């Protein structure tokens, strides 16, 4: 019997009687990270990595019954031994390792291997079966260095400032926004303004000791001029809303892995697209699969079809797992 199976409520471990990132309420849920497609409300008891607990409470309710686990610390649930390991995706994001009678399964959740000063770096975990995300499983996806991207963002901000314009940078409010704030420290000490949705989350990152540029909420100013030269970070959903009016004529940018493709850059109608993803690119996916030493790979999210076919052609056992997980950048836009 498989250690983890797909049910209508999500991934389920029968030996431990718990779900992983369930999409409907269940008695016990192990959460890989707090993005909305992985952490949903209504379950009885949540388990998450300690630094992710405040984010979960911020998103799902202050009184959430949530048990914190440090990376590497293990917990017995039924016959299963469960531990969480760094996924490098956002603060508190974890891979879930499940061991039952010597057999090991790892669920990566969302992960990346690129540098990110806001969270613990990804660690490879060996296993028999690996359930991996495949959001960007095509060899066209190779992320540029975050330093290059941060330098681009900074240059764009300065160019707008020189024209007396504000720069509104759209990034997902949890994870991406804070990663940008941290990466920009290499270029400036200037204060950045935040959309209300990013304020409490950024505070949680600060409380966890993550170093970032100083921030302030972007409150409506009396004089429009006040925003000239400012960088404002906002979730993509704020684009085109009345909230944007206060900035007058401003430059708009969007941070996402999807911005690698010219078609996406143009279609979305932002002035600039910055290639910045919190998901694994193609080389990172292959490296992770190799280092896991897994004999069986199950792929979820995005282009799992491609990954599975590619692995099979390379002699590996691989299958698709149809979950309801999505990509936060796309979810935020629709």
Smallest distance from the beta carbon of 332 to another protein, in angstroms? 11
Residue 277: which of 156, 121, 123, 116 has the closest Cα?
Answer: 116
Nearer to another protein, 246 or 309 (CB): 309
**Sequential DSSP letters for 1-36:** --SSEEETTEEEETTTTEEES-SS--SEEE-S--ST
Nearer to another protein, 1 or 140 (CB): 140
Nearer to another protein, 46 or 282 (CB): 282
Smallest distance from the beta carbon of 135 to Zn ion, in angstroms? 7
Binding residue count for Zn ion, defined by CB under 5 A = 4
**Can you give the binding site for another protein, defined by CB under 8 A?**
138-140, 142, 258, 260-267, 269, 271-273, 283, 303, 306, 309-310, 313, 333-334
Nearer to another protein, 206 or 309 (CB): 309
Nearer to another protein, 137 or 177 (CB): 137
108, two tokens = 């990566």
228 CB neighbour count, 10 Å cutoff = 17
Question: What whole-number distance in Å separates Cα of residue 139 and Cα of residue 99?
Answer: 32
Smallest distance from the beta carbon of 325 to Zn ion, in angstroms? 4
Binding Zn ion (rule: CB under 5 A), the pick from 110, 114, 116, 329 is 110
329 lines the binding site for Zn ion (CB under 5 A): no
Rg (CA), the chain: 20
Nearer to Zn ion, 112 or 154 (CB): 112
Question: What whole-number distance in Å separates Cα of residue 316 and Cα of residue 246?
Answer: 55
Select the binding partner of residue 313 from another protein, Zn ion, none (C-beta < 5 to 8 A, by kind): another protein
Smallest distance from the beta carbon of 137 to another protein, in angstroms? 10
- Asked if 44 contacts 26 with a C-beta cutoff of 8 angstroms, the reply is yes
Nearer to another protein, 105 or 310 (CB): 310
Question: What whole-number distance in Å separates Cα of residue 237 and Cα of residue 302?
Answer: 21
Question: What whole-number distance in Å separates Cα of residue 176 and Cα of residue 170?
Answer: 9
35 lines the binding site for Zn ion (CB under 5 A): yes
Question: What whole-number distance in Å separates Cα of residue 34 and Cα of residue 242?
Answer: 28
Q: Strand 231-234 to strand 192-194: parallel, antiparallel, or no bridges (unpaired)?
A: parallel
Question: What whole-number distance in Å separates Cα of residue 37 and Cα of residue 39?
Answer: 6
- Asked if 170 contacts 238 with a C-beta cutoff of 8 angstroms, the reply is yes
Smallest distance from the beta carbon of 302 to Zn ion, in angstroms? 9
270 lines the binding site for Zn ion (CB under 5 A): no
Smallest distance from the beta carbon of 331 to Zn ion, in angstroms? 8
Smallest distance from the beta carbon of 186 to Zn ion, in angstroms? 25
Select the binding partner of residue 102 from another protein, Zn ion, none (C-beta < 5 to 8 A, by kind): none
Contacts with 149 (C-beta within 8 Å, 6 or more apart), sequence order: 183, 255, 274, 275, 276
Select the binding partner of residue 333 from another protein, Zn ion, none (C-beta < 5 to 8 A, by kind): another protein
* Residues contributing to the site for Zn ion (CB under 5 A): 35, 37, 110, 325
């Amino acid at each position: 019997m498989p250690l983890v199976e797909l049910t209508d409520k999500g991934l389920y471990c029968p030996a431990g009687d718990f779900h992983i990132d369930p999409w409907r309420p269940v008695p016990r849920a192990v959460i890989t990270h707090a993005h909305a497609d992985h952490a949903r409300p209504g379950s009885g008891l949540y388990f998450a990595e300690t630094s992710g607990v405040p984010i979960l409470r911020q998103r799902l309710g202050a009184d959430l019954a949530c048990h914190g686990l440090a990376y590497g610390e293990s917990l017995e649930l039924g016959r299963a031994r469960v531990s969480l390991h760094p996924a490098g995706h956002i603060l508190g994001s974890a891979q879930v390792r499940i061991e039952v009678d010597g057999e090991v399964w790892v669920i990566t959740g969302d992960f990346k291997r690129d540098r990110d000063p806001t969270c613990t770096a990804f660690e490879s975990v060996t296993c028999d079966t690996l359930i991996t995300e495949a959001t960007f499983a095509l060899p066209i996806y190779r992320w540029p260095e975050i330093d290059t991207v941060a330098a681009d963002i900074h240059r764009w901000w300065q160019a707008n400032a020189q024209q007396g314009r504000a720069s509104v940078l759209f990034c997902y409010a949890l994870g991406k926004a804070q990663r940008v704030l941290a990466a920009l420290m290499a270029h400036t000490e200037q204060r950045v303004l935040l959309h209300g949705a990013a304020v409490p989350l950024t505070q949680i990152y600060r409380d966890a000791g993550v170093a970032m540029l100083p921030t302030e909420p972007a409150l409506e100013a009396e004089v429009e001029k006040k925003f000239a030269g400012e960088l404002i970070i906002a979730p993509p959903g704020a684009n085109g809303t009345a909230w944007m009016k206060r900035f007058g004529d401003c430059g708009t940018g969007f941070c996402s892995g999807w911005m690698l493709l010219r078609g996406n850059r143009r279609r979305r109608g932002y002035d600039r697209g910055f290639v910045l993803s919190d998901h694994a690119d193609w080389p990172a996916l292959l490296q992770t699969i190799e280092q896991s030493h897994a004999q069986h790979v199950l792929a979820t999210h995005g282009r799992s079809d491609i990954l599975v076919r590619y692995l099979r052609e390379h002699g590996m056992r691989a299958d698709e797992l149809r979950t309801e997980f999505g990509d936060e950048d796309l979810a935020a836009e629709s």
